[in-house]
Amino acid sequence: MLEWSLIKLELTDVKGLGMAINALILAAGFGTRLRPLTLHTPKCLVEIAGLPLLEYWLQKLEKVGCKTVVINTHHLHEQIEEYIKKRSSNLLEIICTYEQELLGTARTLLENKCYFKQGTNLLLHGDNATDVNLGNFLRAHKIRPAECSLSMMTFTSNEPEKCGIVEVNKNGVVQEFHEKVSNPPNNQANAAIYAFDPDFVSRLESKEKQYKDFSLDVLPRFVGEIYAWPCNARVIDIGTPQNLEMARKLWSNVDMNKS
């Protein structure tokens, strides 16, 4: 594991919200659908508009005053660790944690739970490209319905049959999931960006010890306790050559972090 302390921010607010922030960026996958590109480059280091996708996420987290970032690694992990070492910015404490065997997205969170015992926490996928304003999402999480322990970002998908679609009640609380079905009930898709407080991790541990995949194993067990926040932004999983090309065209001359 690569670990070092840079500047630890004692965050007093996120635009006046009064929350300290930590984040887990999931970046351990093989990126098999992007081969041969990912045979030599980790998916999170694939470039869009001249910057690795991981860098966009780190800058977004800096912008909202994030304190600690954990990045799980596996495939070509040395490249990710070397990239973090060479970053010029020192606004984050960044911890790369190497998984000798892939744990799965839920197990990764539980294995690194010590970093998420305080403040407000974000769970992000390092292969998603988006121009969303994370500050707005964090504000929404702070005022989520009382029965919700997890906030999920959603977006309007042009291909809902290829996404995880959510149904919500009038308060935005998730009532049902539809994972890549042929006739989804709407086009509000899970963006795989989550916000949670420390009590969520404690509840996750108490509910089930064998969680592996966050979307498949965790989310269905928290139906009725997840607040879905619809973002007014583009979200693209760059996991296929077609989606990567789309993202590169969309942001060829635009900064994803301008918001």
- The mean per-residue pLDDT over the stretch 79-91 comes to 90
Q: How many C-beta atoms lie closer than 10 Å to residue 83's C-beta?
A: 18
**Stretch 162-171: mean pLDDT:** 90
CB 213 within 8 Å of CB 179 = no
Q: Dihedrals φ, ψ of 96, to 5°?
A: -95, 125
144/165 Cα distance (integer angstroms): 20
- Split at pLDDT 50, 70, 90, the class of 6 is very low
Residue in the structure block whose two tokens are 């093989």: 30
Phi, psi of 175 (to 5 degrees): -110, -25
Closest of 64, 110, 58 to residue 83, by C-alpha:
58
How does pLDDT run across 38-68, given as a tens digit for each residue?
Answer: 899 999 999 998 899 999 999 999 999 999 9
When comparing pLDDT for 42 and 163, which is higher?
A: 42
pLDDT digits 0-9 by tens, 100-117: 999 999 999 999 999 998
pLDDT at 18 over 60: no
Instruction: Tell me how far apart the alpha carbons of residues 50 and 210 are, in angstroms, rounded to a whole number.
Output: 40
State the pLDDT confidence band at 34, using cuts at 50, 70 and 90.
confident
Q: Is the pLDDT of residue 253 over 80?
A: no
Tokens of 163: 């996404």
What lies within 8 Å, CB to CB, of 206 at 6+ separation is none
Per residue in 214-229, pLDDT tens?
988 899 989 999 999 9
pLDDT band for position 179 (50/70/90)? confident
pLDDT at residue 17, rounded to an integer: 52
pLDDT digits (tens, 9 = 90+) for 115-138: 998 899 999 999 999 989 999 999
Contact criterion met (CB below 8 Å) for 254 and 177: no
For 132-145, what is the mean pLDDT?
94
